Every structure is written in C-alpha cells, then in structure tokens.
Amino acid sequence: MAKMSRSKRSQSLLQFGLFCGILLFVNVLANVFYTHLDLTEEKRFTLTRPTRELLRGLKDQVYVQILLEGEFPAGFKRLQTASREMLDDFRSESGYIDYQFEDPSEGSVEDVNARRKALSDQGIYPVNLRVAEQGETSQKLIYPVAVFRFGSRQVVVKLLESESSSLSPDEVINNSVSLLEYKFANAIKKILTPARPVILFTKDHGELDDLQLADFDQTLRAFYDTDRISLDSVVQIKPEDCALLVIAKPRSSFSEKDKFKIDQYVMGGGRILWLIDRMNADLDSMRATGRFVPTDYPLNIEDMLFKYGVRIQPDLILDLDCSKIRLVVGQVGNSPQFDLFPWYYHLAVQPTVQHPVVKNLDQVDLRFCSSIDTIRTKTPVKKTPLLTSSRYSRLQFSPVDLNFEVLKYAPDPEKFNKGSQNVAVLLEGTFPSNYENRVSEEMLNGLKQMGMEFKPASAPTRMLVISDGDVAANFIRNRAEKQWYPLGFNQNDNRTYANKDLLINAVEYLIDPNGVIEARSKEVKLRLLDDVRAKSEKTTWQVLNIGAPLLLLGIFAWFFNWRRKRRYAK
C-alpha cells in the first residue's frame, strides 16, 4: 500500500514536472515567435504587404529609441502601448528590430537639462502636456518621438499628430495610432535607402525662389537630392535621372521647346508635381492700393494640362471655410491697430477622401486658388480629386475687382452655393503626348541625330495638379538674413496648417505609390461610448458587472458541492 502511494506521488510529480516543462517551452517559443490573431474589422493589427517585404529584407540591426516612457493620461498611454505593439509586430517579421523605451525626464535636474539640450540639438522638441491629478493641474514636458538608428544614420519620427481645432483629443490620438505603421516603415525605408532619388525644381519662368521654397527644400534634402533645372540648358530630362519634376508657381510663358522637353519626360514615365496659379492675385498689391484686378498668367501650358486630363479655370474660389488676414482698423498715437478678418479667398481646405496622400491630414492653407475641371482623355487616365473646397463656396470669373469691401458685411450663405470645387487632382495612367501628330519630319530627324525617339504615349505614370503655387511657399521672416517661418505656418492667424505634410506625402506617392505609403490607408476606427445611453443605463450595467460574476460563482459552487456529494454518496 505504501509502495503504491509512493508510485502515485512519483507519477504526480512527474506529470507536474512535465507540465512545467511544457509551459516553459511554450513561453520560450512565444518570445521567439511573436504572433497574434487579428479579429478586428479594419485589420488594425495586420501589417501591409510592402511593410512586411521591407522588414523581411533587413540584413542588419535597426535600433529604435522611443522617448515615451513614464506615467501619462489615458490617451498618451494608448499611444505608448500602440507604439510598443507595433514594434513587436515589426520584430515578428524581422529579428533585426531592437527597441527601447526611455524617459527623458528621469534623473537629476542636471541630467534632465543636459538630455533636453542634446535632444534640441537634434531638432527634437517636447510637447507641453497639462496633467490633472487630485484636483490640481500641472505642466509636464513629454517627447512623443521615436528615433530610428542604422549605423551612423538616424531618422526622427513624430508619434503625435498635430493638434487641430476640428478634432477632439481622442481623434488626434486615434489618427496618431493609425499612422504608426506608415511612420515606422517609412523611417526604416529612408534610413536604409543607399541611392537618393533626385527631385528637380524648374526655374527661369518666374517660379518661387530659393527662400520661398526653403523649408520644403530643406525637408526634402533629408532623404532626396534636390536641385534647380533650367529647361533651356538641357536637351532632355530623363526619368532615370529625375525621380520628380516640381513646377512651383511659374509666372511667365513656357516656350514650345521647354514644353516639348517636359512632355517627353512624362512620355518616358516621368512624374510631375504641378503647383500652378492661374490668376495673378496678390494680397500685398491689394493692401497697397485697396483694390486689385487680377489677370491671367501667360503660362502657355493650358494645352498640355488639357491633353493630360485637367483644366484650371480662370476664376477665383471664395469659401466660408477660410483662414484670416490682419488688417489695420485704427490708430492709437503712432501705433496702428490690427484686427483679424476671415478672407474668403484664402481657403482652409479639410481633406475628405481616404487617399494615402491626404488621409488624416489637418486643414491645408491655399491662397487665391482656382477651380480644376477634369477632361476626358484619349488614353486611360484615372483622375482623383484629393482636395476640394467646402460646399459653401462660390466662384468669381476673370475679370474681377478684388477689394476689402466684402469684409464690411456679414457673408450671405445663399450666395456661397456652388458646392465643392476641385483644387487638387491626382492623375494616374497612360498620358497622350501633347505633340502627337504635331512633330515635323525635320524635328524627327533632329531627334534621331541626338539618339532620341519621339514617344506619342507615356508609360504608366503619375502627376498631381494643385491650383495654388503658394501651397509650397513659406512666409519669409527676414529676407536679408535668410530667415523664414516653417512651411504651413500662417503668420496672420498664428497657426500651422498641413501644407508640408501634404507635399511630402505627394512626393512620396508620386515617386513610389506601391511603397510603404500604402500603410497610410489603414484606418483605426474610434468607437466611443454613447454618453447619454451610458448615463441612463448606468445602474443596469453596474448590477450586471457586479452581480453576474457573483451569480456564476454561486452556481459553480452549488454544482461543485452537489457533484461532490453525489460522487462520494456512491
């Protein structure tokens, strides 16, 4: 009997040891092979195909430093958790991802100040967070930033999207979480890319100058090589030498030779970002005289754009959703007094389509833009409006007398009845040449002597047309000292719009539409509680949450005792 008892004890110990060993083995496997089952409707926890391919191609270690450690309110805690989970997803695809969360505010005062100084030298600045604890409000500096490092190169990623007057804090956090995969994958792609694509800005047609494009150009130079190109000085533009051609607010005519070079660049598969002002409307000229009559810019490119599928109309859009301008309203002593007025010609456009270029973007600041019509083309070209004015819009056709009289009266919404107007259109497909059936035999022979061949139709390619050249222009703080405001910052209403984000997204999409920018299309739906219903059903849910577990526990205890008595009674 004692021997049998020892045998059962040994068998029980062996089973317990086997169970512990299996449990340990499963935990080791779980740490090595991270996976999960994504049951969400929008597949928020499933990486896109380009991201997976990028991660599987890693051959060396990428280190990620996330400066979002510590105790935060619920919203930032969610961003912190989502960042950790996203990096775990990345690491499940590649063992070359290593990350660490750090708190820049940890340590002595001297250490914290030194760390903040080092971060500011890298262009990393904190966000001032207001924290309410035990009825008291305090300020806390946090860094919602991730730094990706590969060898000697690094990329700084801003985790938190910009605050917006049109979005609640929960929606801002939700947008930030939605874009984590895109931001992380884009940072890895840029930090690994050995060859830098070339972006060329045209010149000699009155385009925006270097200082007006300073912030846009500086942002691009982190990952692209940029330069100016005079079309007169080149025989042709090769798509393999120019990843993107930017035509930023030309104000003088393009010659037929220049147009032919641009056209054949497109026919070869080249991409173009057109930033075009149709009307010569200028607020500074209005301030000087009190009124201004804008005229058409003599660009001579209307036939090209028409052939490619769009027409920029000779009109100006007025919109009740607009930014403000600062005007003198009086004089106190020798000091002029200013006030802000809504300026209907400066549109504050809120993107509404779910396209990777504009998804989750804040408002874009556009000045004196025109409407864009889409045209049927000979070849298949897909036309996607990316930006439109609000439904409270109206049009003024040339000629028009611009003055400030419109600000003296409250706007009549019934007059703003033209509905949404296209102000940015993406064109994708095979484009017909603007010079089809227009090239003489002599010109064909000249092309052949230069080793060139006329192309009547393009390879599949893309271009984006925006009817405002100033969308890429930063305000200039001091021209003599070459100082400027960030792109998108409007010094009139002291607000930063999403112009830079729009243009950077456009550049990335035009150069590589099948890349990691696909991750921008992912949507994380914000499922908020119905506050009214929650308050009215508060007692019901409290009873259910407290009573149901106790009831189930009581039923289990009764069943267990009943079964035990029945078993031993036998």
Residue range 405-426: average pLDDT?
A: 89
pLDDT of residue 519: 66
- Range list of H helices, 269-314: 283-289, 302-308
pLDDT of residue 47: 82
Mean pLDDT of the chain: 84
**For residues 5 and 528, what is the distance between their CA atoms, to the nearest angstrom?**
59
List C-alpha distances in Å: 379 to 274, 276, 305, 438. Answer: 20, 24, 14, 17
**For residues 99 and 90, what is the distance between their CA atoms, to the nearest angstrom?**
10
250 close to 202: Cβ distance less than 8 angstroms: yes
75: which 2 tokens? Answer: 């919203």
Q: Which residue has the tokens 């049009």?
A: 395
Q: Which residue has the tokens 């409270």?
A: 392
**For residues 260 and 276, what is the distance between their CA atoms, to the nearest angstrom?**
18
386 close to 421: Cβ distance less than 8 angstroms: no
Judged by phi (left if over 0) then psi (alpha if -120 to 50, else beta), residue 356 lies in alpha
pLDDT of residue 404: 85
Maximum distance among all Cα pairs of the chain, rounded to whole angstroms = 114
User: Which H or E element spans position 569?
Assistant: helix 538-569
Q: Quick one: what percent of the chain has pLDDT higher than 70?
A: 88
For 71-111, write each residue's pLDDT tens digit.
Answer: 777 778 888 888 999 999 899 888 889 999 988 888 888 88
For 512-567, write each residue's pLDDT tens digit.
Answer: 887 776 666 655 554 455 556 767 777 887 888 888 888 888 888 888 788 877 77
* Of 396, 192, 218, 411, residue with least CA distance to 292: 396
Rg of the chain (C-alpha set): 31
For 190-214, write each residue's pLDDT tens digit.
Answer: 888 777 899 999 999 999 999 999 9
Indicate the CATH number for domain 49-191.
3.40.30
Euclidean distance between the first and final Cα of the chain, in Å? 23
**For residues 112 and 121, what is the distance between their CA atoms, to the nearest angstrom?**
14
Q: How far is C-alpha 84 from the chain's CA centre?
A: 21
DSSP state of 34: -
For 479-501, write each residue's pLDDT tens digit.
Answer: 888 888 999 999 888 888 999 98
Q: Which residues pair with 153 in a beta bridge?
A: 150
**For residues 520 and 30, what is the distance between their CA atoms, to the nearest angstrom?**
29
Residues 6+ apart with CB under 8 A from 412: none
* Of 43, 41, 91, 44, residue with least CA distance to 64: 91
Residue 464: pLDDT above 90?
yes
Residue 437 DSSP SS3: coil
Residue 341: pLDDT above 90?
no
Residue 375: pLDDT above 80?
yes
pLDDT of residue 449: 79
68 close to 159: Cβ distance less than 8 angstroms: yes
Residue range 21-47: average pLDDT?
A: 64
Inter-helix orientation angle 169-178/74-93, to 10°:
10
Least confident of 81-85, 160-164, 354-358: 160-164
For 127-138, write each residue's pLDDT tens digit.
Answer: 776 655 555 566
**β-pairing verdict for 310-312 and 372-374:** antiparallel
pLDDT of residue 320: 93
- What value, to the nearest 5°, has the Cα angle with vertex 474 and ends 508 and 341? 120
564: which 2 tokens? Answer: 């035990």
Q: Which residue has the tokens 């004890």?
A: 9
Residue range 438-454: average pLDDT?
A: 81
pLDDT of residue 148: 92
**β-pairing verdict for 244-248 and 198-202:** parallel
pLDDT band at 230 (very low <50, low <70, confident <90, very high): very high
Domain boundaries, the chain: 49-191, 197-521
DSSP state of 238: -
* Of 322, 312, 314, residue with least CA distance to 422: 312
Least confident of 216-220, 439-443, 525-529, 545-549: 525-529
Least confident of 211-215, 286-290, 323-327: 286-290
* Of 412, 504, 406, 419, residue with least CA distance to 187: 504
DSSP secondary structure string, 47-91? --HHHHHHHHT--S-EEEEE---S---HHHHHHHHHHHHHHHHHH
